[in-house]
Amino acid sequence: MYPDGICRVTDTYYTKTVQFQDINYQLSQNEDKTAIFEGWSDFLNYFDSSIHFQLSFLNLSAAQDGFSRSIVIPLQPDGFDDVRLEYTEMLQNQLAKGNNGLSKTKYLTFGINAENIKIAKPRLERIETDVANNFKRLGVACSPMNGAERLRLLHAIFHMDGQEHFRFSWDWLAPSGLSTKDFIAPSSFEFKNGRMFRMGQKFGAASFVQILAPELNDRMLADFLDMESSQIVNLHIQSVDQINAIKTVKRKLTDLDRQKIEEQKKAFRGGYDMDLIPSDLATYGNEAKKLLQDLQSRNERMFLMTFLVVNTADSQRQLGNNVFQASSIAQKHNCQLVRLDFQQEEALMSSLPLGLNQIEIQRSLTTSSTAIFVPFTTEELFQSGKEALYYGLNALSNNLIMVDRKLLKNPNGLILGTPGSGKSFSAKREMLNVFLVTDDDILIADPEAEYYPLVQRLGGQVIKISPTSKQYVNPMDLNLDYSDDESPLSLKVDFLLSFCDIVVGSKDGLQPVEKTVIDRCVRLVYQNYLNDPRPENMPILEDLYNTLRAQDEKEAHFIATALEIYVTGSLNVFNHRTNVDINNRIVAYDIKELGKQLKQLGMLVIQDQVWNRVTVNRAAGKTTRYYCDEFHLLLKGELASWSVEIWKRFRKWGGIPTGITQNSKDLLASPEISNILENSDFIYMLNQAQGDRQILAKQLNISPHQLSYVTHSGEGEGLLFYGNIILPFVDRFPKDTELYRIMTTKPSEMTAEAAV
């Protein structure tokens, strides 16, 4: 093995290996599946007869403690370690449900014959570039492996029992006199039984798949890879020179014609109809003619393929069960799994990603027949970063879904679902996770008073805004710490124009003269505070009201009269200085008791408070997460433009907004509002009503199969959109935990909890 990843397998045979990732194939739309299949066929046709290549699929037991360590939430001296421990325990239990203990990786190894490394190197590098480009066309991420990475992979295969860690450095070779083989060799091999082998503490059995079926299904390879046991699946593929392939088929046709003539002679001598020939002969003849036509006139080539499966287990009994399961999969697809008796050693060596096939059992297949073994199933989302959050289990593989929204180009998000599907619970679970593993601030617009138990448990501030509440938020609060070029006063004028627009309630909105008057008065009102920015100099709504009344224009008096009910009248909730801790790390604005008249104003004031916090945090380099429940309330009237503005500008200000709503139709109410859907790279979609399903399927290009995961689905089940990845998920949060009790919004469970 050379440091650059080239391996000299024999005296004249050199190989390189590329690791590639998965893409969603099994869940895609039919036209997308066809496009992937055709792209994969073109990829296979790239390999000419001088290149041998091997597809390796390794399902190996990963060190469970490695996964466990990556999901442990570090303890901190902030008084919430009991919550961290319970959340970590929940993650560990979810991990145990999945097969994250099984590390699934995919490799493409290609090799060429060359006299020496100097000749082999440039050609292998050129092939590697072409392979990477072909994968890129399919939308598949891939990375070439260097020598140390290939040795680590071989070491993992030879040490499946996990007893020994890989230790190696190129500097050790010369002084020790050892070769790279010595650093990967297992503690022992045993091939005394012709039907199985033993390697270290592991038992193994190698078999080949005998392809008997006239037609194959693209699920076959996926079914093998879905087995939840340690195994290695290999496809050794060698392209046949096109001229030789055509000659071979023509020779076969000649043989069939000769046999046909022999049968006709027999029929003539026997005195029966010469047209009656054995049906097998007729079938083979038609198949051979069709094959010749494919090779000559279609974009088909001939490949020789060897399909190997190596099952491993900790005991002979378990090994027997694994082999039986693999055999059942082969039979399901009209093929046969045949044990390689007395060829176990050769089969094991052929299953290493070295590109060397020592098993001379080959099946000829055309390009499309070879391409039916599509090496893509479904993507996994398991990011092990410090701020990766839990979003449930992958419904296809049962693996943990752990992702960090900050890594997306646009982390804006939506949580969509019918009532009772688990929207609020999912939002709370994310908030709790954010609180435990990041330093981000969390702001919540809570129109239904659902977030109080969680916010209180995390030491946050719930601000109850209602006509009877004694907690006040001043809509006139001005933040001077803006880190943008825009003047704080200009942004405040913009907000107060929207505020007055809602107050006046005119169908045509504010008139130009009215806007001018408001702008003038706002600047006058803030003069004293800007000269001496002390809290007691912060103006309130009454100051604006009095300044408007002092103006000469009748428009000023008209706006002042409209404001009167909010200043000296019965709805004066916004005519007070702020008397709550709006700087707490987690703040929920409870506006449930605001009447219809005040609900829109309340939401607008919250938006302004959020902007203030985002600008302060931006200067400090801190992220602000904003969750807005009943998001459809913000998509009407004057509020809609504010919401669109948040979705467009929050990212560059260090904000991550999340809208929570059941009314997906509202997101497409206008071209402007549909920007919210287009500017959201994170969508957590739970059960959908029929009308919404059709709209979202069209808007987000969801296949019928994918749509089934949000059709009459249970609570906590649905689809996760993360960038261009779509994954079905299931989140069964354990109900016997304190965290579940403070996050649930089911009336029955909340009543029971209150009774306790």
The single-letter DSSP state of residue 677 is H
CA distance 718 to 358: 46
Residue 525: inside a domain: yes
CA distance 257 to 245: 18
The predicted structure's pLDDT at residue 68? 67
Residue 455 vs residues 431, 587, 590: alpha-carbon distances, Å:
9, 7, 11
- The 10 Å CB-count burial string (b at 16+, else e) for 431-452 is bbbbbbbbebbbbbbbbeebbb
- Tell me whether strands 441-446 and 586-590 are parallel, antiparallel or unpaired: parallel
Residue 405 vs residues 273, 388, 401, 409, 454: alpha-carbon distances, Å:
75, 8, 12, 9, 22
Q: Of 522, 548, 577, which residue constitutes the final position of a domain?
A: 577
Q: Which residues, other chains included, contact 494 with Cβ-Cβ below 8 Å and sequence gap of 6+?
A: none
Q: Do 548 and 680 belong together in one domain?
A: no
Residue 152 amino acid letter: R
Residue 401: inside a domain: no
Q: Are the C-beta atoms of 277 and 263 separated by less than 8 Å?
A: yes
pLDDT in tens, 696-750: 888 888 888 888 889 988 888 999 999 888 889 999 888 888 999 999 877 666 5
Among the listed residues 52, 48, 45, the one whose alpha carbon sits nearest the alpha carbon of residue 110: 52
Residue 588: inside a domain: yes
Q: Element (H or E) spanning 160, and its range?
A: none
The predicted structure's pLDDT at residue 458? 93
Q: Element (H or E) spanning 622, and its range?
A: none
Report the CATH number at residue 551: 1.10.8
The predicted structure's pLDDT at residue 747? 61
Q: Are the C-beta atoms of 676 and 415 separated by less than 8 Å?
A: no
Q: Of 324, 347, 371, which residue constitutes the final position of a domain?
A: 371
The predicted structure's pLDDT at residue 751? 44
- The 10 Å CB-count burial string (b at 16+, else e) for 294-327 is bbeeeebbbbbbbbbbbbbbeeeeebeebbebbb
Q: Are the C-beta atoms of 449 and 573 separated by less than 8 Å?
A: no
Q: Are the C-beta atoms of 717 and 709 separated by less than 8 Å?
A: yes
Please tell me the number of Cα atoms within 13 Å of 210 on its side-chain side: 8
CA distance 720 to 297: 44
Cα-trace Rg, the chain:
34
The predicted structure's pLDDT at residue 32? 84
Q: Are the C-beta atoms of 235 and 362 separated by less than 8 Å?
A: no
User: Which portions of the chain are predicted below pLDDT 70?
Assistant: 62-68, 98-101, 163, 274-277, 280, 282, 295, 481-486, 597, 747-756
Residue 596 vs residues 474, 506, 569, 748: alpha-carbon distances, Å:
20, 16, 16, 28
Q: Do 434 and 489 belong together in one domain?
A: no
Q: Is 27 exposed, middle or buried (0-12, 13-18, 19+ CB in 10 A)?
A: buried
Q: Which residues, other chains included, contact 727 with Cβ-Cβ below 8 Å and sequence gap of 6+?
A: 24, 378, 379, 381, 394, 395, 396, 401, 719, 720
Q: Are the C-beta atoms of 546 and 441 separated by less than 8 Å?
A: no
Q: Is the pTM of this model over 0.75?
A: yes
Q: Do 724 and 622 belong together in one domain?
A: yes
Q: Do 572 and 584 belong together in one domain?
A: no
Residue 652's SS3 state is helix
**Torsion sign (Cα): 525, 531, 535, 536:** negative
Q: Do 569 and 647 belong together in one domain?
A: no
Residue 422 vs residues 133, 442, 600, 685, 706: alpha-carbon distances, Å:
42, 20, 25, 10, 19
Domain ranges, residue 438: 409-473+580-756
Q: Do 555 and 595 belong together in one domain?
A: no
Token representation of residue 707: 């749509």
Q: Do 632 and 559 belong together in one domain?
A: no
Per the structure, the count of domains in the chain is: 3
* Crossing angle (nearest 10°) for helices 64-71 and 81-97: 140
Q: Do 424 and 545 belong together in one domain?
A: no
Q: Of 550, 577, 604, which residue constitutes the final position of a domain?
A: 577
Report the CATH number at residue 24: 3.40.462
Among the listed residues 295, 408, 354, the one whose alpha carbon sits nearest the alpha carbon of residue 150: 354
Residue 205: inside a domain: yes
Residue 70: inside a domain: no
Q: Are the C-beta atoms of 518 and 490 separated by less than 8 Å?
A: no
Residue 273's SS3 state is coil
The predicted structure's pLDDT at residue 692? 85
Residue 334: inside a domain: yes
CA distance 199 to 186: 7
> From the centroid of its chain, how far is CA 657?
19
Q: Which residues, other chains included, contact 742 with Cβ-Cβ below 8 Å and sequence gap of 6+?
A: 453, 454, 457
Residue 517: inside a domain: yes
Q: Do 635 and 728 belong together in one domain?
A: yes
The predicted structure's pLDDT at residue 43? 95
Q: Do 309 and 413 belong together in one domain?
A: no
Angle at 302 between CA 299 and CA 306, to 5 degrees: 135
The predicted structure's pLDDT at residue 99? 58
Among the listed residues 330, 338, 376, the one whose alpha carbon sits nearest the alpha carbon of residue 359: 338
Q: Are the C-beta atoms of 218 and 38 separated by less than 8 Å?
A: no
The predicted structure's pLDDT at residue 19? 95
Residue 52 phi, psi (nearest 5): -95, 135
The predicted structure's pLDDT at residue 67? 62
Q: Do 649 and 675 belong together in one domain?
A: yes
Residue 383: inside a domain: no
CA distance 202 to 414: 47
Report the CATH number at residue 643: 3.40.50.300
Q: Do 116 and 182 belong together in one domain?
A: yes
Residue with token string 């999340």? 658
Residue 660's SS3 state is strand
